[in-house]
Amino acid sequence: MRTTVKIALEMAQAVAQLDGYQNGGATPTPYKYDGATRIAIAAARRKLRLIAEDYQTARNAALVEASGGSGELPPISNVMTPDERRKVIAMHMAFDRADKELLAAEVEVDVATLPAASFNLDDNPIPPTVLDLLGPFIEL
């Protein structure tokens, strides 16, 4: 499926939460899936992690570029001269613009969709917010 980097990152975040849930104890309670669903989730997690790593590499390069090579944006401070302040604000804006472009870029997400029934929602209390972030991973 073709989607934006932002949606792929959201899917990666959601897939990472499909292991289990806190049920009042010290150790998480694992969700119950059949074997094929667990394999599909693991494959999706691996592929989405690669997209997240590529995004992070590109984001770090954009930060280095926007910061003039330092890799760190200086904080905006009221004790700066107006010229210093304008320069630092411009650096922050350049990085923000580059990051938004990276997030809006299209990427091919090669993950198999899973039917909603695979998530065994009657037995697995997967929160709606996680289901929402899974988006195109769930076949309705």
Strand 20-21 to 29-30 pairing: antiparallel
Q: How many CA atoms lie within 13 A of 51 on its CB side?
A: 27
pLDDT at 80: 92
- Phi, psi dihedral angles at 127 (to 5 degrees): -65, 145
pLDDT at 25: 81
Q: How many CB atoms lie within 10 A of CB 40?
A: 19
- List, run by run, the mean pLDDT of 10-residue segments along the chain (140 residues): 94 95 87 96 96 98 95 92 94 97 96 94 94 90
pLDDT at 1: 87
CB 31 within 8 A of CB 60: no
pLDDT at 43: 96
pLDDT at 66: 95
CB 126 within 8 A of CB 24: no
